[in-house]
Structures are given as C-alpha cells and as structure tokens.
Structure 1
Amino acid sequence: MSLLVVHGLLLGFMFSLSSSAVILDNGMPILWTQTASQVTELPTLNGIVTPNPWNYLQRMSLYRLLVAATDPFTEYMRTNPTDGPMWGLPLQLGWMLTSGRLVDPTGASTCGLQTGDPMCISAQSWWGCMNYFTSALPFLSAAHNGLLGQDVEVQLQAPDGADGFCTTYTDCLAQYPDAMAKWDAFFQAIKVTDSPLPVAEHTDNILGVYWQAQMASLSASAVCNPRQSHYSSEEVSFANSWLNSAEYVSAVHFHSTLEKTVLFLNPLPSRVLREGDAAPNIADLSQEENHTLSTFSWMKSINSILGGSLVRMWKGAMCSVATREKGRALLEQLILNPSFATSTLLSIIPEIASSC
C-alpha cells in the first residue's frame, strides 16, 4: 500500500473524529486489510522473523497473526469468526491510532503525525509503550509455543533512540518472567480442546487464563510510567483510570470479541485530553465520551477513597461462572447506560457476593 493512500485513509479517519473515535474500518480494526496475513509476509533477516512493532501496520500484523493462530483452538467459544478472545487487542491499538495517542507527545519528532510518518508509533508515547507489552510479549510467546509454525524464530526491531524494550523471547522471559510465564500458560491451555467441562465453564476457564496474562503484561508495562510526564494531568488521570478499569474487566473474564469490545471502545475519548478538560462538560467530545470519562473517574476516586477495597470487593464477588456473568452485565450498564446510577454499584456488589 502506498504511503499516499495510507495518508488519505488516515486523514479520512481523523476528519470523522468530531463525534467519537473511529474504531472500525469496513467492520475490522483500522487498516486490518493492509497487514500481514502470513508470518512469511513479515520482514526476515538470516531466517529470523524481524517485524518492526514501532510501525502501526507491523504491530497490527502481530495481532492479526495472533488471532489467526488462536482461532483453530477456540471454535467452541465462537458463533462467528470474530468471537475469539484476542480481538480486543487490535481494536484497542486502532483506537489509539485514530485518537492520536501513538504520536510523539514530546513534540521532538513528527512520529505518528500526518505531516510526518502516520504509521510511526512513538516509543515516547505512554500508550504506545504500554501497548508494546500486550503485543510483543504475547507474539513472542506464541512463536515460542509453536502457534506461528514450526521453529519460527522472532527478533523484534528495537525503536530508534529508546532502550529497555525486550525484543526476543529469551530477553522478555528474563526481564518479565511473570508475564511471559502467563502468556505461555495461555497458549498451552488453548491447545487443550477436549476438556470434559461444559462449554461455558471451559470458556470461562480459558478466558481466566487469558486475563491473567493480560494483567501481567499491564503490570510489566509499569516501566512506561515515566512517559506520563509528557501529558496533561487530565490525560494521565484518564490513562490511570483506564488501567484501573482492567481490574474490573479481567475479574469477570470478559469475552473480548470484536462486537463486544467495540461497544466498550466506542465511548472512549476520541482525542488526547488537554489541560482544562473536565467531564462531563468537554464540549468537543460526545455525550457518551463524557459519560465514560466521568464513570472512570468516579470508579477510580471511590476505590482510592476506600483504600482499594472497591476493587477487592469486586474481585471477591466474581467467584464463579454465574457471578462473573452478572458482573459482565453490570459493567455494561455502568459504562454504556448513562442513566445507570454509579452509586448503586456499591450496593449491588455485596448482593452478587452473597452467592459466593
């Protein structure tokens, strides 16, 4: 695909950001059709696969290949082709691109800008850095566990002017042993397709292992935190609230299909927040975006006031397949229904927990 066409597509996406972020491109993650569908389409050097995860199309390619690699093992939990658990990750990356969160926040380069390289993911971006740990680590683990083919060896390209990013399975295992061990456990678990458990329970178990790996990657991404100094206090608050929301989502073993993930990504802010942005009264953001920002802020504030007990209460209540199903429904109401009173969450959690 020519750079000119990419510029045109991205400009089209950006012009449509007036109401909410663009999440889909013809029903798929942004620029999905321009990514690699086979490992052999990625760059190689001396027989080693060497993708550049600091290029949007190549990082998205990692996700596309992960989706394809896991699909054969997740047929029992799918009613359509986009029901696999990996779809949430590429959709998040697409939202980061169209909302401007992958550009260089220091202004020292044109990385990610329309006037520079729109496919560049800045290593100075907190979002781009954090997302590295939920793209590079699972990809390296999948390759190590044979999901990408026999004897596929991968060495990711390092970003220009930034150190500290592991680029091989061995390096990542040494630096982030917990995250790599949990991704290994997930890829090994999905290979076991003849479980004696009922489908719903087996699906719930696999999603539990998946979210353990996701949360371990997010914990590893704490090394990105110094990059938050490049953003407004409002964007930092949102970023931390976004991370905090993962605690609730993971506890319910959220089945991150394409369709369900889009529902939760649509109301996220379509641009980087600036000093003075105060939800629910940010004029150039939609009512849904303002509502989501207010809800995230409330949940983070209440949890802080309660000394972290809101998250602990929530996790404690998500003790079974049945309560996790109730938890997923409650999260949908909390995020997607503006008329839902957030304060009722504090009374509903004990009710759910009573069945534990």
Structure 2
Amino acid sequence: MFIFLSIIVLFFIIHINANTFNDTEITYPPFWHIAPSSLSEFPLINDSFSQYRLIDPWFYPHRLGLYKILINVTTPFMPFCSSSNASNILFALPSQFGWQFSSNRLFTNGTMNISTNSWWASANYYLSVIPFLVAVDIGLIHKEPFRILRQNNFCSSSSECFRQIPHAMEQWYLFFLHLTQSASCISNKKLTQRIIEKCYLQHIWTAYKSSIYNALPLVESKLDYLPSEVEKLFGLGWARFINLISMTRKNTDLYETIRNQRKFLPFRMLKESDRIPESNDLPDLVNRSLKNLLSFRFDWLLFIEKIWSRITCNYEGRIYAQYTLETMALSKLLASTYLAKATMNAFLYKCDR
C-alpha cells in the first residue's frame, strides 16, 4: 500500500523536468579558452612588501579560471575521464556558471564584470571560491602566493570562509579527500557506473548541496535585485530541487550538464509575463519546466524528500529515479512507469547509503 501511495503522491506533486536527448558534443562554457588554467596566469602584483597573484572572482574570466584549474588538477584522479576532461564530474560547476553568464544572470550586461548585486553570482561565489580554497589547502593546487580580491562581506581566504560558511568548507575537504583516495575505493573492481556513483558522485553531490544550502541565507538580500518575482521563484525553486536531484546521484559531467541546460533552462532572465509560461521565444520544454516549477507546492517539500529518500536508497532505485526525472516533461505515462520501477526496486534491493 505504501508503494502505491508513494507513486501517486510523487507523480502528482514532483515537477522536475529532464530529457532523453543524447548529446555527446563537447561545449565548454563561454570564453573557456581565455580563462587562466593555472595560478601563474593570473596578474602578478608587486608591492613594496610582497609579490602575489591577484584573483578577482567578480571578473568572469577569473572566476571561470578557478573552475578551469580545479578541472585540470582533479582529472588525473578520475580514471573514467577522457583526454578532453569533459567527463570530469566537476564540470557541472563551470557549465552552470557559463549558463548564468550567457543568460545575463550575473548582471554583466555585455561586459566581463560580475555585479555583486546578482543573486545568482553571489550564490555561485560559494561554489567556486570555496572548492578552490580547499583544493589549495590540501595541496591539489600548487601553492603560489595569491590573494582573492575581497568584495563586501564575501569571504576571501580559508580562515574567513571557515568562519562564514564552515559546513561547506568541511564538505569540500571531504570530497577532495575521497577523490585523492578513490583508488582504494575502486580497488581491483571494474570501473562500472555503480562504482563511479559510489566512489565519486555521492561525495560531490554532498559538497555541492552544502555550498548551495549554506549560501542561500548569506545572499538572501540579493533577491530584491532580481528583475521579476518569476525569476525569484525560478531561482529559489531550482535551488530547492537540487536535493531531489542529488538523491539520484545523477552524473555531473559536461555532457549531462549541457544536455539538461539546453533542454530545460531559460536562456534569458524571466519576466512577470512568464508566470503563465507560454512565451514564444522559449522552447516548449522550458515552458513546461517553468509551469511545473511555478506550480510546485513547496510546503510539501519535506514530505516529498522523505519519500524520495526511501525510493533512492539503493543503486537500483536511483537509476529509475533518474529516468523518472528525465522523462517527466516528455511523457508523464513513461515517467510514472519509471517511478513505479524505482519504488519497487527500493524495496526489492538492500539500501546502500
């Protein structure tokens, strides 16, 4: 009885959209080729007392460079990566950042300068600077003297960030620790998707969620600068849905991220007229996604998360939970079939969390 009740409840109140489009094209974030790929490529500052590299995280190429360095230093620890780095599971971070830039959610307005008033840019700050500082601290990045340009109340050093957003710092430490020790997790096992999920994806999702959830209260005041109430609902809704997506341990490489961005994320900021999502300039699946997101009952979110956590408690359930999310916008009948299979597998197989 619980299984069928779970199916009915989740089918009608979970509104996450994905797609079944299979695209292996490598599309890097805008201006990826000009972003610094090492600390030595940032501007060198000489003053009367010291010499250091200056990083301005409010200049788009510089923040993108933090991601590029992280991709470069972590790829050797991911044996499933190709020579292009596109299979690196950290690519969800710069790819999302690139989408924010392209859609002007960073308030760059045709320049490379990111506004500190941008809610999206402010939240993303803790998804870029935090993992970068942690990677430096544990020795993944060659420790050349550098300084991060401080703006407003955004932390700019490890000690400051540990005081401001300690849980996120801790979770990124754990992610990089697991990453550097991933060989022992894999052992002599064949590198299957199940092993990649266990040894890599579960840890990055934990760190990713921690940065987002702990950043939201810190950047709440920036919501007032968003151009419409619809854009605000979209941003907060997306941030809250991350936990549901993370429970499925979906792949976060460049291929998957770009595929989903192209299908479901609006290429511009939203206006009040988008509240009834029939905008002619937005693709059909984006309109469907907005309709679902804007009608979601967030007062039921804790209840949904409790059920979803049970359904995704093992690998067999998580696979079909991913299929559920990937087909919801295309066919509710197919999505409900996958959801039924995910729920059944959750009870047929042992939980592995």
In the superposition, relative to structure 1, how do residues 349 and 75 fare at CA in structure 2: closer, same or farther (>3 Å)?
closer
**Paired position in structure 2 for 1:41:** 41
Q: Which of 137, 140, 151 is matched with 1:147 structurally? A: 140
- Distance change in 2, residues 1:48/1:173 (3 Å): farther
Deviation at 1:272, TM superposition (A): 0.9
| 1:225 equivalenced with 2:220 (yes/no) | yes
> Structure 1 pair 346/244, CA: closer, same or farther in 2 (3 Å)?
farther
Map of 2:184 onto structure 1: 194
8 Å Cα contact 2:312/2:342 also seen in 1? no
The CA deviation at 1:329 is: 2.0
CA offsets 1:181-228 (integer angstroms, 9 cap, x no match): 110111111111233273334421221111111111002212111211
Kept after mapping to 2: 8 A contact 1:85/1:257: yes
Partner residue in 2 for 1:87: 91
- The structure-2 alpha-carbon separation of the partners of 1:100 and 1:270, relative to structure 1 and needing over 3 Å to count, comes to same
Aligned match of 2:251: 255
User: What is the match of residue 340 of structure 1?
Assistant: 332
Deviations for 1:134-166, whole angstroms, at most 9, x for unmatched residues?
Answer: 0010011111111112x344431123xxx2100
Structure 1 residues 233, 244: closer, same or farther in 2, change over 3 A? Answer: same
CA distance in structure 2 between the partners assigned to 1:254 and 1:197 by the alignment = 24
Point out where structure 1 has 5 or more consecutive residues left out of the alignment: 1-23, 104-111
1:97 aligns with 2:101: yes
Q: Which residue of 2 aligns with 1:351?
A: 344
Indicate how the Cα distance of structure 1 residues 235 and 197 shifts in structure 2: closer, same or farther if over 3 A, else same: farther
Structure 2 gaps of 5+ residues are: 1-23
User: Please, which of 49, 57, 76 is the counterpart of residue 53 of structure 1?
Assistant: 57
Aligned equivalent of 1:171, options 134, 141, 160: 160
Normalising by structure 2, we get a TM-score of 0.82
Q: Deviations over 1:59-82 (max 9, x none)?
A: 111111110010000124659631
Is this contact kept in 1: 2:321–2:339, CA < 8 A?
Answer: no
Pair 82,137 (structure 1): closer, same or farther in 2 beyond 3 Å = same
SS, match of residue 276 in structure 1:
helix
> Secondary structure in 2 aligned to 1:28?
coil
Q: Distance in 1 between matches of 2:104 and 2:149?
A: 23
Deviation at 1:292, TM superposition (A): 1.8
- Deviation of residue 102 (structure 1)? 0.6
Distance 1:261 1:343 in 2: 20
- What is the match of residue 317 of structure 2? 323
Contact 1:60 1:90 in 2 (8 A): yes
Tell me the residue number matched to 1:4.
none
Structure 2 contact 123–215 (Cα < 8 Å) conserved: yes
| 1:28 maps to 2:17 | no
Q: Map of 1:122-133 to 2, 5 A cutoff?
A: 122-133=115-126
Partner of 1:276: 273
Q: Secondary structure at the match of 2:210?
A: helix
Match of 1:107 in 2: none
Query: Which deviations, in whole Å up to 9, do the C-alpha atoms of 1:275-331 show, x marking residues without a partner?
Result: 231243122212121022123334x32x52x35211221122211222222222222
Q: Do 1:313 and 1:349's aligned partners in 2 also have CA atoms closer than 8 Å?
A: no
Contact 1:25 1:31 in 2 (8 A): no
User: Does structure 1 conserve the Cα–Cα contact (< 8 Å) formed by 2:44 and 2:53?
Assistant: yes
Per-residue displacement from partner, 1:165-186 (whole Å, max 9, x unpaired)? Answer: 0001111112211110110111
Relative to structure 1, the CA distance from residue 321 to residue 121 in structure 2 (aligned partners, 3 Å threshold; closer, same or farther) is same
Going from structure 1 to structure 2, the CA distance change for 1:122 and 1:187 (only over 3 Å counts) comes to same
Cα 1:255–1:214 change in 2 (3 A) is same
Give the aligned partner of residue 13 of structure 1. none
- Matches of 2:252 and 2:243 in 1, distance apart? 14
- Alignment root-mean-square deviation, CA: 2.4
Per the alignment, do residues 340 and 153 of structure 1 end up closer, same or farther by CA in structure 2, a change over 3 Å counting? Answer: farther
1: CA distance, partners of 2:84 / 2:213: 32
Task: Please report the TM-score for the alignment, with normalisation by the length of structure 1.
Answer: 0.81
Write the letter of the residue equivalent to 2:280.
Answer: A
- Paired residue for 1:240? 236
Q: Contact 2:230–2:270 (CA<8 Å) still a contact in 1?
A: yes
Which of residues 290, 293, 305 in structure 1 aligns to 2:290?
Answer: 293
- Matched AA of 2:109: L
The partner residue of 2:209 within 189, 204, 215 is 215
Tell me if the contact between 1:323 and 1:352 (Cα under 8 Å) persists in the aligned partners: yes
Change (3 A) 1:157 1:351: same
**What is the identity, as a one-letter code, of the residue corresponding to 1:167?**
S
- 1:100-129 CA-to-partner distances (Å, cap 9, x unmatched) read 1011xxxxxxxx123xxx101111000000
Q: Is the 8 A contact 1:291 1:338 kept in 2?
A: no
